[in-house]
Amino acid sequence: MKLPRYIFPILIIAALFGGYFLRTAFTQPSTNINYSNETGATATFIVDGLKCKGTAAFFTTMYDSVPGIVGIQTFATEHKAVITYDPDKITKDSIKAIMETPVLFQDGTREQVFKCVSIK
């Protein structure tokens, strides 16, 4: 049985699109931290520097003791952080300022690790 020449390219394209749509349907957060059971506003930050599960975990530690942060979900593959916060206690600009604060390393140097690209 002879197959038409165009059947393999069509199957490859269908597999690529199918994989993309399945990825978006089954995306799991790299970290999912809830600091309280309160509800609040949600902001999505695109963050340069969120690259892997390790940087995502470090990112969440920057907000451990910040009043007004309810929870954080990070998606390292998308460089995205979804932060739930109490708008009466903290603003989006304050959240951005915290993430862009230079980090003190063990050798005594400071460097900005995360940079906010956009806020939604």
Q: What is the pLDDT, as a whole number, of residue 94?
A: 97
Question: Could you tell me which of 70, 62, 69, 76 has the C-alpha nearest to residue 30?
Answer: 76
Coil, strand, or helix at residue 46?
strand
User: Does 24 have pLDDT greater than 90?
Assistant: no
Question: Given strand 69-75, what is the order of strands in its sheet?
Answer: 31-34, 69-75, 80-85, 41-48, 115-119
Amino acid, single-letter form, for residue 39: T
Contact 80, 47 (CB under 8 A): yes
pTM: 0.80
In CATH, what number does 28-119 get? 3.30.70.100
Phi first, then psi, for residue 13 (nearest 5°) are -65, -40
Instruction: List the domain boundaries for the chain.
Output: 28-119
Average pLDDT over residues 16-28: 82
Instruction: Give the pLDDT band (50/70/90) at residue 67.
Output: very high
